[in-house]
Amino acid sequence: MADVPELKLHCPLPEKNATVQLAHGGGGRLMQHLIRDIFVRSFRNPLLAQMHDGATLPVSEGTLAFTTDSYVVRPLFFPGGDIGSLAVHGTVNDLAMCGATPLWLSAGFILEEGLEIETLQRIVDSMAQAARESGVSIVTGDTKVVDKGKGDGVFINTAGIGVVPPGVMVGPQRVVPGDAILVSGDLGSHGVAVLSVREGLSFGGGIVSDAAPLHRVVADLIANGIEIHCLRDLTRGGLASALNEIASVAGVKLSIDERTIPVHDEVQGACEVLGLDPLYVANEGRFVAFVPEAQADLAVAVMRGHAVATEAVRVGKVDGRESSIVVLKTVLGTHRILDLLSGEQLPRIC
């Protein structure tokens, strides 16, 4: 084993122009190097450092929340984030939406042969930073390499475990008529930011993704005694899809006032040109909250105390149980259904 270099204390910058090869996923020395020099070094924490097949985690009181999500985004880097930070924030936020304090993540990488090691290092560094900032540890992982052309550079799966404090129950079945519906901030920045770089749109410049961890806002709501009935992060499908899912599971009719929904001018402008509706555009740092009407004002005030939710606002209410639809009061005061899209939102012809 003399030819295997020891883990150096100084930063072992990857060889310039080095790329991921199939052998990096083959279980041999190359894979060991990759794990040690890239993943373990960047994600450094005592649980991962045990280099075991899995992580053993201490359990406390409360309930465990467990979630998983896979991240496939093109381009890998976009204004305001990258696939690495997204893979941490997305899973942290899924746990936060359960009312949980996120604690541990796993990270599974599917790397495409030929991916530059330098690019992988940037992504992993970004994950490590996002994990530090979110207060979570990446405690176990996996790496596979697929043939060139069989992947989009890198796909990442993260699973997460968090702890829900005793007495906290968050879920769509708790939504009841009379609840106020709150949104944590302006909508659409993430989707438009990614689209603007993916498609090289000249007018999308300056729009930065809203990707951010949301669990501290949720923890603060709980600490302030807000009886949160339901939370949902507004990722794929945006606000409209989240509301429809909740209306359907809870068996309630939701009424939303379009005039109250915050959308910044540059996002609105890009959406107008492309024929997209910001209510369906993905966000990575926004959520909707269902809380009792009596606590709505306090909840908005608590949310606005956080940098990721300064534009939190009340957008509607839970109306009744006569149907499971979402009704939008338009800017003109008329009413229409806010529906699920049947597929992906497609830019229109003219």
Partner 1 sequence: MKYVDEFRDRGHAEALAGAIRRTATRPWTIMEVCGGQTHSIVRFGLDALLPSNLTLVHGPGCPVCVTPIGLIDQALHLASLPRVMFCSFGDMLRVPGSRGNLFDVKAAGGDVRIVYSPLDALELARANPDREIVCFAVGFETTAPAFAMAAIQARRLGFTNFSLLAAQVLVPPAMEAILSAPGCLVQGFLAAGHVCTVMGYEEYEDLAKHYRVPIVVTGFEPIDILEGIAMLVSQLEDGRTVVENQYTRSVRREGNVVAQAAVREVFEPTLRAWRGIGDIPHSGLKLTAAYADFDATVRFRDALAQAGSVGGEDPDCQSGLVLQGLIKPPDCPAFGTRCTPENPLGAPMVSSEGACAAYYRYRRDTRPGAIS
Q: Which residues bind partner 1 (CB under 8 A)?
A: 199, 201, 265, 268-269, 272, 274-275, 323, 325, 327, 330-337, 339, 342-343, 346-350
**Pick 9 or 332: Cβ nearer partner 1:** 332
Give the nearest distance from C-beta 163 to partner 1 in angstroms.
39
**Pick 147 or 339: Cβ nearer partner 1:** 339
Helix ranges (H only) for the chain are 29-33, 41-42, 46-49, 83-96, 117-134, 189-198, 215-223, 238-250, 265-274, 296-304
**Pick 62 or 262: Cβ nearer partner 1:** 262
Other Cβ atoms closer than 10 A to 204: 22
Phi, psi of 287 (to 5 degrees): -145, 165
Contact 177, 319 (CB under 8 A): yes
**Pick 75 or 225: Cβ nearer partner 1:** 75
**Pick 165 or 269: Cβ nearer partner 1:** 269
**Pick 208 or 346: Cβ nearer partner 1:** 346
Give the nearest distance from C-beta 350 to partner 1 in angstroms.
4
Give the nearest distance from C-beta 336 to partner 1 in angstroms.
4
Give the nearest distance from C-beta 296 to partner 1 in angstroms.
22
Round to whole Å and give the CA distance between 235 and 233. Answer: 6
- Show the tokens assigned to 147: 């043939």
Give the nearest distance from C-beta 276 to partner 1 in angstroms.
10
Q: 163 forms bridges with which residues in the sheet? A: 64, 101
Q: 289 forms bridges with which residues in the sheet? A: 182, 231
User: What residues contact residue 308 under an 8 Å CB cut-off, 6+ apart?
Assistant: 184, 185, 210, 212, 213, 214, 217, 285
